[in-house]
Chains A and B, each alone.
Chain A
Amino acid sequence: MNLSEIIKILEATVIVQPDTEDFNIQRACSADLMSDVLYYHAPDSLLITGLTQLSVIRTAEIVGIRAIAFVFNKTPDAQIIEFAQKKKIPLLSTRFCMYTAAGKLYEAGLTGC
């Protein structure tokens, strides 16, 4: 699924833009605990999380998660946004809770990791 479609489904604000229009996401996972993400993930996936710490961007980089969507309209600090820009990891913010955000994407055909 193209990231632009995910942005539309989640009615998301884009905090860090993708560096290409052809930005495809294969799967998605949702978690607030980073070791759960390290255990259960897939490369080229989207992480849906309520955690806005630096460790989220690090974890994404380690496992090859391509983009991150923060729930409840959360936005990380400027330093973390800058770090994600440097790592070329797009960041989104959606008003939906984690359950609803995941459900909407699953319904649209984006399966779990």
Chain B
Amino acid sequence: MSLNIKETIDGSFQLVGADFTHAGEASTQLKQKLAELGVPDGIVRRVAIATFEAEMNAIIYAAAGWLHYCITPQSITIQVVDMGPGIENIELAMQEGYSTAPDWAREMGWGAGMGLPNMKRNSDIFKIDSVVGEGTTVEMIINFP
């Protein structure tokens, strides 16, 4: 199946903190959309993993957030903006295995300390900006072949 993206497609999902019933729905819907547009499986999977990790971070750490996406014939840009506590030390948070997840999140299978590394690993361009007390913004760009 060849890429069927003629023009820019963008959209947003609202993320609600601690809403684990719907956690992952935004990433799943985006995954389906990309598959329908003919994006190759491997790239769809990279987008899905990066988006899912970012979505889960917003749901675990923040009261609320937004996931914006913009699909062009060349790439997808995903931006996840949350109104969480912010990250004090981004360098430390980027280390594999480092986590500040609360116990209740660990009991649900989160807090491996692989979230941010997984986002970076699956993105062609990864940017993170955080202000303590205000929130965190993650931007990920994944190129199409």
Residues of A within 8 A of B (CB): 32-36, 38-39, 43, 51, 53-56, 58-59, 61-64
Query: B139 on the interface (CB 8 Å rule)?
Result: no
**Complex contacts, A53 vs chain B, CB 8 Å:** 20, 108-109
8 smallest beta-carbon distances between A and B, as pairs: A35-B114, A58-B24, A33-B112, A35-B112, A34-B109, A62-B48, A51-B109, A62-B52
> What are 26 sample pairs from A and B whose C-beta atoms fall under 8 A apart?
A33-B110, A33-B112, A34-B56, A35-B110, A35-B112, A35-B118, A36-B114, A38-B49, A38-B114, A39-B112, A39-B118, A53-B109, A55-B23, A55-B108, A55-B109, A55-B110, A56-B109, A58-B24, A58-B52, A59-B52, A62-B24, A62-B31, A62-B48, A62-B49, A63-B49, A64-B45
> Which of B53, B109, B113 has the most A CB atoms < 10 Å from its CB?
B109
Residues of B within 8 A of A (CB): 20-21, 23-24, 27-28, 31, 41, 45, 48-49, 52-53, 56, 106, 108-115, 117-118, 121
Number of A-B residue pairs having CB atoms within 8 Å of each other in the complex: 71
**Complex contacts, B49 vs chain A, CB 8 Å:** 38, 62-63
- CA distance in complex: A43, B45 (Å): 9
> From DSSP, what is the main secondary structure of chain A's interface residues?
helix
| A61 and B28 form a contact (CB under 8 A) | yes
| A38 and B52 form a contact (CB under 8 A) | yes
**Complex contacts, B121 vs chain A, CB 8 Å:** 39
CB distance from B108 to the nearest CB of A (A): 5
